[in-house]
Amino acid sequence: MLAASVLLYDNPVSGNCYKVRLLLAYLGIPYERRELSVEDRSNREDVLGGLSPALRVPTIVLDDGRSLGESGAILWYFGEGTRFVPEDPFERAQVLQWMFFEQYDHEPAIAVVRFWVTHGRADEFADRLPERMEAGYKALQAMERHLERRLYLVGDRLSLADIALYAYTHVAEEGGFDLEPYAAIRSWLGRVAAEPAHVPI
Min separation Cβ 186 and a copy of itself, Å:
19
Cα gap 50→9, rounded to integer Å: 13
Neighbour count for residue 12 (Cβ, 10 Å): 11
CB count in 10 Å sphere of residue 26: 20
Work out whether 65 is an interface residue with a copy of itself (CB under 8 A). no
Min CB(49)–a copy of itself separation in Å: 8
| Site for a copy of itself contains 68 (CB under 8 A) | yes
For residues 139 and 110, the answer to whether their CB atoms sit within 8 Å is yes
Quick note: the x/- pattern for a copy of itself over 93-122, rule CB under 8 A, is xx-xxxxxx-xxx-xx--------------
Tell which one of 27, 63, 66, 82 touches a copy of itself (CB under 8 A).
66
Tell whether omega for the bond before 58 is within 30 degrees of 0, i.e. cis. yes
**Count, residues in the chain:** 201
Q: What is the DSSP letter of 151?
A: S
70/195 with CB nearer a copy of itself: 70
Comparing CB distances to a copy of itself, the nearer of 149 and 194 is 149
**155 touches a copy of itself (CB under 8 A):** no
Phi, psi of 18 (to 5 degrees): -60, -40
Question: Which spans of this chain sit near a copy of itself (rule: CB under 8 A)?
Answer: 52-55, 66, 68-74, 76-77, 80-81, 89-90, 92-94, 96-101, 103-105, 107-108, 139, 142-143, 146
